[in-house]
Amino acid sequence: MFLQKSFVRLYSLNALKSTSRFNWKRHKVIYGLSCGALSFSIYMAYNSLSRFNDSPNLSTDHFTKYRISYKKDIDEEHFLLELTPILTQNQNLWQIIGSTKIWSVEIKQPEIMVVRNYTPLPFYFDASAGQIQLLKDGENADGKLMFYLKQYKNGEVARWIHGLGINDTVELRGPYIEYEFPNPNHEMKRDRNILKDLEKTTHATEQKQIFKYEPLNILMFTAGTGVVPALQLLLTESPFYGTMHLFHSCKTKSELGPLSKYLDVLDKQNRIKLHMHESSKGGNIKDVNIKELLNQIPEPVPYKEMKSNGPHNNNTNPSLALVCGPDSFITTVAGEKYDFSQGPVGGLLKEKGWDNQNVYKFP
């Protein structure tokens, strides 16, 4: 049986506290959430939403103040941004949420009364090393959040953020769950040692972990900053258990900056099967040889939740497809998405036998 799901409006981390083992038939995702940074909502009751609560922890009930502690341009359009809470936060969202959920936060642009969702990554800026570092297990850097952003011509919030300086203040609210995966009880924790020393692990071979339950494998098509949800799953504490078939489209791989080396290591260690499509090299997904591309896209296979795993299980075939990117990209890959409804599955995925039971198009 393929994956059944009903899409409803967002829910917050607060709702997770009373949630037992996730039922696959009750996927909950939000309208207007980011694929790195794709959607925004204009809120009506601006004054009430702007109130600042003295509680230090990030919450969906109020906005929390952060300061810009690091901002680095990768190129003219893309940049990295680190936000540090004014008051140290004691909750570790990376540990609490793990890789069973894709999540984002809202950032408020107070000048035009707009909020927009952005998906954070588990990094912090290490001033002594002069580079970003992956958070260690059990650490949250006092609540710091790292973002990979792009300035779109019509992207009011990202352009406003880019114009701010170090120590300028922004306000955040969240976290909001964009997508939720099965959460097997008493599953072992996935190791992240391969990500500690990227120079060594590029050439080393990871020892295979045998999980209690057969992992869910997924297919992801991403474009631009739409790669961030995939990276969040792959890099967070206790990373995604299954294999990810990742088809990423961009102008050039260099626009990923320091994030590209993590994709290389994950590909080398067989945690992902990476297919890069760089338009600067003639690899635009709309222009490549469609027959050749279709041969690379796997067909869907049924997923049996909570199926016991075995030492000789080498299954990497995907049961779920997620698509994240601009509207034109989503249409090419999976058919047009209609506002807050998914619309029928079309495009490349339809050609390979995927349908609405196993495909989700991010807003």
Going by the annotation, the residues of the binding site for FAD are 116, 118, 150, 157
In the annotated binding site, the residues are 116, 118, 150, 157
What residues are paired with 82 via a beta bridge?
70, 146
- Identify whether the C-beta of residue 16 lies closer than 8 Å to the C-beta of residue 64: no
Phi, psi for 49 (deg, rounded to 5): -80, -20
- The amino acid at 17: K
Any idea what the Cα angle at residue 101 is, between residues 190 and 154, rounded to 5°?
125
Alpha carbon distance 23, 62 (integer Å): 29
DSSP-based three-state secondary structure for 134: strand
Signed CA dihedral, 119, 121, 124, 125: sign only: negative
Alpha carbon distance 308, 235 (integer Å): 25
CB atoms within 10 A of CB 359: 25
- Cα 12 to the center of its chain, rounded Å: 16
DSSP-based three-state secondary structure for 156: helix
